[in-house]
């Protein structure tokens, strides 16, 4: 009897693990029972965080120092990091050599403060220390968002279907193509546009990129919550009427919302990149050095000349800037169309309902398996 229980427990555990892998593959890690930030977010990201710490140890290098002094400084920082972490393990009642797997508050504080304090000890580099601390806080926030809400898995799943996504996005784009094509080509062959981006400071490129990215995200998020509720309702309606399924928690609903938003954003990115590559290639072939000279375009801080069938073609910084600008404008236009076009939204929701129905079916099985595991677990 005990042996039979053992076989059932192992089989159930394997099935539970398979369901959890499905949730993570779809970018929904919060659907996993007992999900923990210590283990499932920062614990999974621990190898990456260790690499960041080691790279930041190289920040103690000073070009004005001799090579042997830089080497000693880097080795000293690494030894100090290792000794500090070993001491932290001892204080927490663990072996000094325990690798970071369950990453809690003390480890996160160590990750932020250690790279800030050590440059002060090795060279009095207070500015480097402050920058390291600020960067590490931003890294932890990014890890929490990307790993905690499965954005990396969602984008990876989407990239594996990039051919399908590109085809579907371009088919939807055909509805808006005539006006968009006329608008984009007219801008591309406009000398004033090239003159503007020929003299744009680099910091302006960064600011404009952040502004348009934030604007696209704002537009995509306007109806995101309503769409998520609709697809959850439709996905659950496809299950058997008598199926008992616990409602999603607020965090789990937010995870589903992030997954839906990431899929929409991926389509915008695919369309934008496709348009950017098209105009970049078109510019290489048609915007020759003679045309740039006639327009009074310098080409930016760098240019690369190419010879093609005896003709001189040119790749320049200005061409790259103009192509990226048109790709960004196209992405913004596509995001607005996504928000306003009822046919597109219906197609997208139908596609996501199919995906979420599979997730819901796995949730039903998953909770049944958890109940079975609880029932067969030995009682003390």
Domain positions in the chain are: 29-148, 154-358
Give the model's pLDDT for residue 158: 55
Distances from the Cα of 224 to the Cα of 23, 203, 227, 255, angstroms: 20, 32, 5, 12
Q: Using the 8-state DSSP alphabet, how is residue 102 labeled? A: S
SS3 14: helix
Give the model's pLDDT for residue 45: 74
Give the model's pLDDT for residue 157: 57
* Per-residue tens of pLDDT for the chain, all 380 residues: 444 444 444 577 788 888 888 888 877 888 888 776 666 677 777 777 777 877 776 666 666 667 676 677 667 767 776 776 677 667 766 676 666 666 667 777 877 877 777 666 655 566 767 777 888 888 888 887 777 666 666 666 555 555 555 555 556 556 656 666 777 888 888 888 888 888 777 777 788 888 888 888 888 888 888 888 888 888 888 777 767 778 888 888 888 888 888 888 887 887 888 888 988 998 888 888 888 888 888 877 787 877 777 777 778 888 888 898 888 888 888 888 777 777 777 777 777 788 888 888 888 888 888 877 776 655 55
- 10 Å Cβ neighbour count for 3? 7
Q: Which two tokens stand for residue 54?
A: 């080691």
Give the span between the Cα atoms of 58 and 128, in whole angstroms: 11
Give the model's pLDDT for residue 342: 73
pTM over 0.75: no
Q: Using the 8-state DSSP alphabet, how is residue 201 labeled? A: -
Give the span between the Cα atoms of 238 and 256, in whole angstroms: 18
SS3 316: strand
Phi–psi pair at 327, nearest 5 degrees = -65, -40
Annotate 204-245 with DSSP letters as a single string: HHHHHHHHHHHHHHHHHHTTHHHHHHHHHHHHHHTS-TT---
Contacts of 175 (CB under 8 A, 6+ apart): 337, 341, 343, 344
Give the span between the Cα atoms of 174 and 181, in whole angstroms: 10
Question: What is the longest distance spanned by two Cα atoms in the chain?
Answer: 89
Phi–psi pair at 320, nearest 5 degrees = -65, -40
**Cβ–Cβ < 8 Å for 320, 280:** yes
Give the model's pLDDT for residue 62: 62
CA angle 33–35–39, rounded 5-degree value: 140
Give the model's pLDDT for residue 152: 64
Q: Which two tokens stand for residue 45?
A: 């990201």
CA angle 150–142–338, rounded 5-degree value: 60
Give the model's pLDDT for residue 6: 45
Q: Is 308 left (phi over 0), alpha (psi -120 to 50) or beta?
A: beta
**Cβ–Cβ < 8 Å for 256, 228:** yes
H/E run at residue 307:
strand 303-308
Give the model's pLDDT for residue 237: 80
């Amino acid at each position: 009897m005990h042996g039979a229980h053992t076989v059932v427990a192992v089989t159930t555990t394997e099935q539970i693990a398979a369901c959890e892998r499905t949730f993570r593959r779809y970018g929904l890690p919060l659907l996993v029972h007992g999900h923990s930030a210590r283990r499932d977010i920062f614990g999974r990201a621990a190898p990456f965080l260790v690499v960041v710490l080691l790279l930041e140890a190289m920040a103690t290098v000073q070009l004005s120092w001799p090579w042997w002094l830089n080497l000693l400084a880097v080795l000293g920082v690494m030894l100090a990091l290792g000794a500090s972490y070993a001491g932290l393990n001892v204080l927490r009642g663990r072996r000094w050599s325990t690798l970071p797997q369950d990453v809690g508050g003390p480890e996160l504080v160590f990750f932020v403060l250690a790279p800030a304090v050590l440059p002060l000890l090795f060279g009095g580099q207070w500015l480097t220390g402050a920058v390291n601390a600020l960067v590490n806080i931003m890294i932890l926030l990014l890890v929490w968002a990307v790993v905690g809400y499965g954005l990396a898995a969602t984008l990876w799943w989407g990239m594996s279907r990039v051919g399908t996504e590109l085809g579907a996005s371009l088919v939807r784009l055909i509805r808006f193509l005539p006006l968009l094509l006329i608008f984009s080509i007219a801008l591309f062959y406009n000398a004033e546009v090239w003159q503007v981006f020929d003299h744009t400071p680099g910091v302006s490129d960064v600011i404009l990129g952040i502004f348009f990215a934030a604007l696209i995200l704002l537009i995509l998020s306007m109806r995101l919550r309503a769409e998520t509720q609709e697809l959850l309702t439709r996905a659950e309606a496809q299950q058997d009427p008598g199926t008992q399924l616990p409602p999603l928690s607020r965090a789990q609903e937010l995870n589903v919302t992030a997954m839906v938003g990431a899929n929409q954003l991926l389509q915008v990115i695919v369309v934008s990149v496709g348009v950017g590559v098209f105009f970049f290639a078109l510019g290489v072939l048609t915007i020759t050095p003679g045309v740039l000279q006639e327009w009074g375009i310098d080409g930016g801080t760098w240019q690369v000349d190419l010879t093609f069938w005896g003709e001189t073609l040119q790749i320049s910084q200005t061409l790259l800037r103009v192509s990226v600008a048109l790709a960004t404008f196209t992405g913004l236009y596509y995001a607005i169309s996504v928000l306003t076009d009822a046919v597109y939204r219906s197609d997208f929701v139908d596609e996501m309902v199919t995906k979420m129905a599979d997730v819901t079916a796995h949730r039903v099985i998953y909770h049944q398996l958890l109940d079975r595991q609880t029932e067969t677990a030995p009682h003390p």
